[in-house]
């Protein structure tokens, strides 16, 4: 099931619930692993297509990035002891500052990161920049699986003050918007 199919299924379920319908809604396949077995929870989902938009940055205008575009921009690699799974892992991605600049987000702005499950975290652009936030696209040289925090996620180097700020490690990121 792709991100788009998952979003459509969730929307259909919400519409049917609001309409008071009790008709069954197609549910995703049973998970191959339980939430207890994965720090990220969830169930296996097909990765996004190369031309599928996986990140939107909204700052007066919306700038969309496809999975392929982010893969091409992903040139910075860091090795960290990933705090959610306690494993040494390599992440390759795009400095978040580069994406914010492309989208024209002001340096003095406050932005909110929003995940596919609507998890949100807000901070100033300066904090993201000062902490060298990395929008990771690859983990250990492979695309990050959807059920393991992909297709894109924010990570920090171990020497970054934000490394221990686990709320900022937004995984399965979908958008970045100006915060109120």
- How far is 3 from 48, CA to CA, in rounded Å? 6
Average pLDDT over residues 117-140: 96
Question: Does residue 33 or residue 152 have the better pLDDT?
Answer: 152
> Which pLDDT tens digit goes with each residue over 36-77?
455 666 667 888 999 999 999 999 899 999 999 999 999 999
Give the separation between CA 40 and CA 33, rounded to whole angstroms: 11
State CA 67 to chain mean position distance: 11
Beta bridge partners of 170: none
Domain 48-178, CATH among 3.40.50.300, 3.40.50.620, 3.90.79.10, 3.90.420.10: 3.90.420.10
Residue spans per domain, the chain: 48-178
Q: What are phi and psi of 79, to 5 degrees?
A: -110, 130
């Amino acid at each position: 099931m792709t991100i788009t199919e998952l979003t459509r299924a969730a929307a259909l379920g919400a519409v049917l619930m609001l309409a008071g319908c009790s008709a069954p809604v197609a549910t995703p396949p049973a998970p191959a692993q339980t939430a207890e077995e994965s720090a990220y929870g969830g169930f296996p989902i097909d990765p996004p297509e190369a031309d599928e938009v996986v990140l939107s940055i909204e700052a007066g205008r919306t700038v969309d990035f496809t999975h392929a575009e982010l893969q091409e921009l992903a040139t910075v690699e860091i090795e960290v002891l990933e705090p959610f799974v306690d494993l040494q892992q390599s992440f390759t991605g795009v400095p978040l500052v580069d994406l914010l600049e492309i989208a024209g987000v002001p340096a003095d702005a406050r932005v909110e990161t929003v995940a596919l499950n609507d998890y949100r975290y807000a901070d100033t652009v300066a904090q993201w920049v000062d902490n060298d936030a990395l929008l990771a696209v690859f983990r250990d040289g492979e695309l990050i699986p959807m059920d393991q925090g992909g297709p894109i996620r924010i990570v920090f180097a171990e020497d970054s003050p934000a490394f221990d700020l686990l709320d900022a490690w937004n995984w399965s990121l979908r958008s970045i918007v100006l915060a109120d």
